[in-house]
Amino acid sequence: MSQNQLQRGLKARHLTMIAIGGSIGTGLFLASGGSIHEAGPGGALVAYIAISIMVYFLMTSLGEMAAFMPVSGSFSTYATKFVDPSLGFALGWNYWYNWAITIAVELSAAALIMKYWFPDTPAILWSTLFLCLMVALNLLSVKSYGESEYWFALIKVMTVIVFIVIGVLMIFGIMGGEAVGFQNFTKGDAPFNGGFMALLGVFMIAGFSFQGTELVGVAAGESEDPARNIPKAIRQIFWRILLFYIFAILIIGLLVPYDNPNLISGDITDIAISPFTIVFEKAGFAFAASVMNAVILTSVLSAGNSGMYASTRMLWTLAKEGKAPKWFAKVTRNGVPVNALIMTAAIGALAFLSSLFGDGEVYVWLLNASGMSGFIAWLGIAVSHYRFRKAYLAQGRDLRDLPYRAKLFPFGPIFAFIICCIVIIGQNYSAFIGGEIDWNGVFVSYIGLPLFLIVWLVYKYTKKSKLVPLNKVDLSMDEK
């Protein structure tokens, strides 16, 4: 084993659960209620189905590249090789920053959740404890990360399956009193409430809910037999996510009226009125709030754990490619990029500490700057895949030789690109309507975009990097 190489310790089941666990979280358990309240049950379903289709195309695009070239830098490396080194540089640092800040968000959330059981304990105690746990799981080996993520994700998956089963029994009156049927789905302005603008708003929420599915691309570089396991994981991911999200939202929409005031809250402090808790309590489960609190805690720890993993691997790749200090490329005997891990944990901890001092304004700005990062990464995947396939054919290669081939090319990456652009531009559409433009709202919502463009263009200008011609695109797997 080379001194600076990662180890292929992730099995197919790890890859599948990493991707599923990345997308099932507080977006489904908490924010789904707000989506139904805002756009009605029909509007929420339409928005989530549309985003699901986009995510499917993104996953197949990523799957084609990751099965052919399994590297831990994933989209940063693909953008460097297939598009332009400056885009790869910007995407890599953008993604690292996004997940490093996410660690701080999850540490804050975990501390708030623990207050439910231990109201008198200081938040910093729980956050420090959970940060140490995340670092320990990532420090042992990639297998320990994969195994912990597998069980974290399994808890979430089992919760959603139980929810769907109980929900169906309640709809038909087998459980929890008389049959509800479709009366809530057509009540008042339902199934569509608030018109097109409400639908657009839910579109944004749905986009955020699915972020994390791309983790399978980062994990590809450390998976056993990537040519077989990545396509297998990609095929399973879409249908499972679709099943979990669409069925869960359909059941909430059928069982809880969209105008129920409890659906407005999507906050981590209001787990007692999460749509999942409401349905479980209707079914007669007395400890529903406490159980959902525990499930959401595992979701938050899972997101922090994955954030630590993804940002560490991205920083390691940037260092290997000469886009970050070489010091971050150091790997332990167990194949863990230790210096990159320490740096990532330190940034996550500092960002969390900034939320405790003053009125937390620095923390809010850090969050705002990372708001668009996930969508920018998705845009990078779509562009890289389009260029990869064009280069592959331009160099006279046979598509039948690809370990996995994305369907409906070029429609897939183009469709994903357009939807991503709509989501990015519409981040805070409400700031532009209603007479006077809310410039503060615009600045806060869109700050991530100019920051990304500055990093991209400064690197492009200083390094004089150019778009790689299709016939010069490097399609070799060179693990230095």
Q: What is the pLDDT along the chain (480 residues), one digit of tens a residue?
A: 345 677 777 887 888 787 777 778 777 887 888 888 888 899 999 998 988 889 889 999 999 999 999 887 788 899 999 999 999 999 999 999 988 888 888 888 888 888 888 888 888 899 899 999 999 988 888 888 889 888 988 998 899 999 999 999 998 888 877 777 788 888 877 788 888 888 888 887 888 888 888 888 888 888 888 888 888 888 877 777 778 888 999 999 999 888 888 777 666 666 667 888 888 888 888 788 888 888 888 988 888 888 898 899 999 999 998 999 999 999 888 888 999 999 999 998 988 888 777 666 777 777 777 778 889 999 999 999 999 999 999 999 999 999 999 989 999 999 999 999 988 888 777 777 777 888 887 888 888 899 999 999 999 999 999 999 999 999 886 544
* Residue in this structure with the two tokens 């070489």, named with its chain if needed: 326
- From the list 5, 15, 343, the residue with the least C-alpha distance to 153 is 15
- φ and ψ at residue 311, rounded to 5 degrees: -70, -35
pLDDT score, position 4: 61
pLDDT score, position 2: 46
What is the CA 404 to chain-centroid distance, rounded?
23
Q: What is the pTM of this model?
A: 0.90
SS3 363: helix
- From the list 87, 93, 244, 217, the residue with the least C-alpha distance to 161 is 244
- From the list 119, 127, 121, 140, the residue with the least C-alpha distance to 312 is 140
- Tell me whether residue 430 is exposed, middle or buried, using C-beta atoms within 10 angstroms of its C-beta: 0 to 12, 13 to 18, 19 or more: middle
- From the list 276, 248, 249, the residue with the least C-alpha distance to 262 is 276
Q: Are 185 and 254 in contact (CB under 8 A)?
A: yes
DSSP state of 180: -
pLDDT score, position 296: 87
Domain limits of the chain? Answer: 12-463
- Give me the half-sphere count of Cα atoms (radius 13 Å) on the Cβ side of residue 112: 16
- From the list 102, 425, 57, the residue with the least C-alpha distance to 237 is 57
Does an H or E element contain 371, and which?
none
Radius of gyration of the chain (CA): 22
- From the list 68, 386, 42, 28, the residue with the least C-alpha distance to 213 is 28
Q: Are 395 and 475 in contact (CB under 8 A)?
A: yes
pLDDT score, position 341: 94
Q: 328-349 pLDDT, tens per residue?
A: 999 888 888 999 999 999 998 9
In angstroms, the Cα distances linking 373 to 12, 16, 91 are: 27, 23, 9
Nearest-angstrom CA–CA distance, 16 and 24 = 12
Q: Are 434 and 96 in contact (CB under 8 A)?
A: no
- Give me the half-sphere count of Cα atoms (radius 13 Å) on the Cβ side of residue 274: 27
- From the list 22, 86, 63, the residue with the least C-alpha distance to 464 is 86
- From the list 44, 59, 422, the residue with the least C-alpha distance to 205 is 44
For the record, the structure tokens of 135 come out as: 């670092």
The H-assigned helical ranges of 24-68 are 26, 32-68
Topology of domain 12-463, CATH: Amino acid/polyamine transporter I (1.20.1740)
Nearest-angstrom CA–CA distance, 282 and 179 = 12
Nearest-angstrom CA–CA distance, 31 and 369 = 21
- φ and ψ at residue 10, rounded to 5 degrees: -95, 125
